[in-house]
Structures are given as C-alpha cells and as structure tokens.
A and B are shown apart, each in its own frame.
Chain A
Amino acid sequence: MDNHIALRQLTVSFTTKAGTVKAANRIDAIFPGGQISGIVGETGSGKSVLGLSVLGLLPENRIVSGSILYKNRDLLQLPEPEMNALRGKTIAFVPQNPDTALNPVMTVGEQLSEMFTCHGKANPVEARLRAIEQLRRYALSEPQTVFDRYSFQLSGGQRQRLLCAMGSALAPDWLIADEPTKGLDAVLRRQVFQLFQALRETSNLGILLITHDLRLAERLCDTVFVLYAGTVVEQGPAGELFAGPLHPYTQGLINAQPHKALTPLPGMPPSLIDLPAGCKFRPRCRQRTKLCSQEPALRNVHGRQVRCWQYD
C-alpha cells in the first residue's frame, strides 16, 4: 500500500509585476499513505502552494522545479490529460471557501453526480443514486430534496460537508483539504473535525491537511510540517511536536494561541519577493545568534526534523 507522496526539492515561484514571489524553496517531504499529514503555517507561508502543486493546479505564471513522486511517477512531469485523470479520482481536492467553491446556477446534486459521470464511473441514473447516497453519508438530511437545491440554499456547514462528499465520492487514495476551517465559527469547526475523523476511521485514504488552525492539526494529524516563508522549519509526529515544539517559530505559533500564553510573535512574515538571507526566521527570533546569518539545514532531533542552529 505504498501510496505516499514524496516532495523532492520542490521549488515554486510566481512571476508578478512586483517581482518573483518565491512561495516554496526546495522542500523535501514525505507524506505517508493512509495517514493524515498537516501542513501548518501563517497565511503567505506557501502551504496552499504545496497542495496545488501536487494536483497541477498552479496558475499560469508559475515556475516549478523539483519533483513530486507518487507511485513511482513524477507528477510534475505528467502530461495534462494524465494529470486530469488523477484529479478527483485518485487524488481529490477540497477547496477553500465553500461559499464560492460551488457553481451558483447548477444544482448541488448535479455537481456531485458529475463526479461519477465525468470519470466514467456511472451513467446519469446510477450517478444520481450514488450521489444521494453520498449526501446521506455526509449527514445532509433529506438528501433527495438537497439534490435539487442550489448552493445559496444551503448553510455554511452543509456546503462544507458537500465539498467533502464530492472529494471522497470516488474513494480516492488522497484527499487534499485546503484550509477547511478558514472563516468558520467554533460550531462549524467542530463539524469539520468530526467529518475528517470519520473519514480517517472509515477509509484508508491519506489526507493532506493544509491549515493555520493549530488545534485542528493537533487533534487530527499524524505528522505535521511547519512551514515558514516557503521552507519547512520543523516536521514530526503531531503529538510530540505540539507537546514540545523545538523550532522557535513553532514555539511562537503555539504560544500565540488564545488557550496558551496568547503571546503574539513579534514582527511580520517576510515578503516572499525579498526574502532575507540566512535563516528566514532570524528577524523575528528571540533566540538568534551569529550563526543565523547562514541558512541552517534540516537536522534529525529526537525523531523529528528541525531547521535551527540550536540543534545542529
């Protein structure tokens, strides 16, 4: 069951009028199959970019190098038709912003059943039945009625559940969830958490959870990757990482939470166009030393990997 996704020296930049945005810098990571891996960081850390790269969904102004290996194939080298065959079927995506991720003039049911019909898995009649079944499975009450509704007639929670239903409709190997709790209130956040938990229990799909919601990552993920300014600064098993964070940034992130010390991190994340030399976190780090003018490498520490001179 070797479904793992491996990023090798993945570098993603975007050419813009203001300059080149270096969103991801030589990232190495392995997301084990059948587990929930979390990519955690602030807005602008480049975490969404990783998810989009896997599925070839980056915008036109991208510059990509490195490789993304899945089942012995480099996804970055796949021709578009083959990549499109993977999308939704083998590796599925749950997009941000459920409010805008649904077609406003198409019924919800059709948007779900087209997963079946367009991937050649069913004819329209079967597709409708399978779609209704999927709606039921995702706790959308009265699925027959919901099928003919439009997205503006659904609540926020329903929309989120619908997006998850669409993502898992074809029982993919992987589900990439992009900021599933962004902008949601506590009640909805809890619903999302339960959704993903149920997913993990009922299937062995791998989930790539991209989020800035640390509590969600803590309770859901097996492995966590902490991203800062396009680089992985710490990665490891979730429980240990959250209990005893090693990298100053991770420590700062955790301490900034309301239920912890509520001490914010000083300063701002750097512009991805003008990245500072050396360790990217140095300007904001309280523990910096002279060594930090050089970029540290990723080191193994207590079963985790950290990019900090303290542990070198």
Chain B
Amino acid sequence: MAAINKASIVYRLAAVILLLLVASAVLAPVIAPYDPNRVMPDETLQPCSIRHWLGTDSLGRDVLSRLLYGAQVSIGFAVLAALCTTLLGVSLGIIGGYFGGVTDLLLQLLVNIFQGLPGMSLMIAIAGSLGPGSASLLLAVTLTSWAGFSRIVRGEVLKIKEESYIEGIRSLGGSDAYILRRYILPNLFNSLIILFTIRVGTVVLSVASLSFLGLGMQPPQADWGVMIQDAKVYFRSYPQLLIAPGLCILALCGSIQLVGDALRDRFSIRQSTQKQDW
C-alpha cells in the first residue's frame, strides 16, 4: 500500500509541474517581465539579479522572458503537431480498421511505407528542403509520426469490432455512422489520450533538436532549443544560460511522460492470462 502512495505522490507532482508549465506558456505575455526579443545592448551577459532573475544572454535579452515565451512556442507547437498527427492517424486508422477490405489493405501498405522511413532523417530532410520554420516542421513531424498512430488505432478498432455486441447492434439496424459515433470512438478515447500525451513529449524533443540544428524554430523566436544553441559558447562562465532551458525541457518531457504513465495505469486493460481462480 505504501508503494502505491509513493507512486501517486510522484504522479501528482508531475501533473502539478505540467500544469505550471502550461500555465506559464499560456500566460507568458502577461507574466514575462520583458519582451523576449528585446535587445538590451548595455546589459549583455548579466548574471542572475533582481532586474533579471535568470540573467541575460549575449544579446542582452532577458533569459526568464525567453524561457516563458519558449514554453509557449514549444508546448503550443507540440500540441498542434500532436493534434495533426492524431487526426490523420486516427481517421486513417478507423477507416482501415472498420471498413476493411481493399481500403484497409491499401492503407496498411501506406502505413508500412511511411513507417519504413527513418523519422529523424526525413524530418531533417523535409525541414532542410522546404526551408526552416513552423510550417515545414509541422509537415515533417506529422508525416513521420502518423503511421505509428494509425497502426495502433487500427488494432484497437479491430479489437472493438470483434466484440459481439457490435454484431448485435448492426442486426438491430444500427448504421455505420451510429456505431462509429457511439461505440468505436468512445472506446478509443482512453488509448488516444495516452498516445496523444506521449506524442506531445516526443515532438518537444524532436523540435528542440531541429531548432538546435537551425532547422526548426528560427532565431530570434524564443525556443528552448535555440537558447541552448546560443548558450553553447558562453555557458562556461554563465551556466544558467545552458542549465535553465535544459531543465525546462527536462521538466516538460518528464512530467508529460509521468502523466502519460499515470493515465495508462488508470485506463488501459491489461491482458494477462488468468493465473488462478480461487
């Protein structure tokens, strides 16, 4: 029993951290002390002070403000990208799984093709070919991750379809649309929440990497990956320039994963072969 409580404390802490981060992202324009792109040439590379809680970077921009706006950029984009991936993956997964037949075979082929593409390679290539920026990032992320989603969704749909009560409803005259709406989608909901949450975390890391390489969010847009790239030269003397954005990514991804775990514990049905009956 004690172990369960320990774990749930951790999960609650993670949820709180996540909420704080999301709140900072949403409220950034309100709570940030400075404009993140405001260059203050007289105050470059300041250590932590009362004026600048986390100091300033090489261009004299306030680090705290950039972190807050960076949260907006990172979380906002990640949620958007995860939504696109989910929409695409779910619709194709449902169509393939529910309707079956030739459509399903074709879609499965498509999934196999897209899963055969090495993700990061393709993202780099797409971002590189189209030119950096959020639009090409969005395209890159969605194209490389929808297939995995679709596969899982299709599997779930197949499982639900097999349930005998679906047959019963159909024989009572239920239309496809009705079945989809009332039975398939609600049953998918739990798995989807989990998948969506995990995907947000993955996107944050991928985008940070791409931004670090200069292929993602472009300076002067405040993004944590970009901030780390900027800090590469100065951190030996001004460690907070490197530590702060890194810890933010750690906090965001870590809490997302823990929350995802907690959701999985709550919602998923384990299928283990029954051990013993009493």
A–B proximity contact (CB within 8 A)? yes
Which A residues form the contact surface with B (CB < 8 A)? 21, 23, 43-46, 48-49, 52, 96-97, 100, 178-179, 272
Which B residues lie within 8 Å of A23 (CB)?
278
Determine how close the nearest CB of chain B comes to the CB of A47; give it in whole angstroms: 8
22 example contacts (A-B, Cβ-Cβ < 8 A) are as follows A21-B278, A23-B278, A43-B277, A43-B278, A44-B277, A44-B278, A45-B278, A46-B278, A48-B276, A48-B277, A48-B278, A49-B278, A52-B276, A96-B276, A96-B277, A97-B273, A97-B274, A100-B273, A100-B274, A178-B276, A179-B277, A272-B278
Closest to A230 in B: B278
Closest to A15 in B: B1
Which B residues lie within 8 Å of A97 (CB)?
273-274
Closest to A12 in B: B278
Determine how close the nearest CB of chain B comes to the CB of A156; give it in whole angstroms: 15
Inter-chain pairs besides A48-B276, A52-B276, 5 sampled, C-beta below 8 Å: A48-B278, A49-B278, A96-B277, A97-B273, A272-B278
Q: Whole-angstrom distance between the alpha carbons of A21 and B277 in the complex?
A: 13
Closest to A48 in B: B278
Which A residues lie within 8 Å of B276 (CB)?
48, 52, 96, 178
Q: Whole-angstrom distance between the alpha carbons of A97 and B273 in the complex?
A: 10
Which B residues form the contact surface with A (CB < 8 A)? 273-274, 276-278
Closest to A46 in B: B278
Closest to B1 in A: A15
Which B residues lie within 8 Å of A272 (CB)?
278
Q: Whole-angstrom distance between the alpha carbons of A23 and B278 in the complex?
A: 8
Determine how close the nearest CB of chain B comes to the CB of A274; give it in whole angstroms: 16
Q: Whole-angstrom distance between the alpha carbons of A179 and B278 in the complex?
A: 11
Q: Whole-angstrom distance between the alpha carbons of A49 and B276 in the complex?
A: 10
Which B residues lie within 8 Å of A179 (CB)?
277
Q: Whole-angstrom distance between the alpha carbons of A183 and B85 in the complex?
A: 46
Q: Whole-angstrom distance between the alpha carbons of A49 and B274 in the complex?
A: 16
Q: Whole-angstrom distance between the alpha carbons of A48 and B274 in the complex?
A: 14
Which B residues lie within 8 Å of A45 (CB)?
278
Which A residues lie within 8 Å of B278 (CB)?
21, 23, 43-46, 48-49, 272
Q: Whole-angstrom distance between the alpha carbons of A43 and B274 in the complex?
A: 14
The 6 A-B pairs with the shortest beta carbon distances in the complex, nearest first, are: A100-B273, A48-B278, A44-B278, A43-B277, A23-B278, A49-B278
Determine how close the nearest CB of chain A comes to the CB of B54; give it in whole angstroms: 46
Which A residues lie within 8 Å of B273 (CB)?
97, 100
Determine how close the nearest CB of chain A comes to the CB of B270; give it in whole angstroms: 15
Which B residues lie within 8 Å of A43 (CB)?
277-278
Which A residues lie within 8 Å of B274 (CB)?
97, 100
Which A residues lie within 8 Å of B277 (CB)?
43-44, 48, 96, 179
Determine how close the nearest CB of chain B comes to the CB of A117; give it in whole angstroms: 26
Closest to A178 in B: B276
Q: Whole-angstrom distance between the alpha carbons of A272 and B276 in the complex?
A: 16
Determine how close the nearest CB of chain B comes to the CB of A58; give it in whole angstroms: 10
Determine how close the nearest CB of chain B comes to the CB of A17; give it in whole angstroms: 10
Q: Whole-angstrom distance between the alpha carbons of A44 and B274 in the complex?
A: 15
Which B residues lie within 8 Å of A48 (CB)?
276-278
Which B residues lie within 8 Å of A49 (CB)?
278
Q: Whole-angstrom distance between the alpha carbons of A178 and B276 in the complex?
A: 9
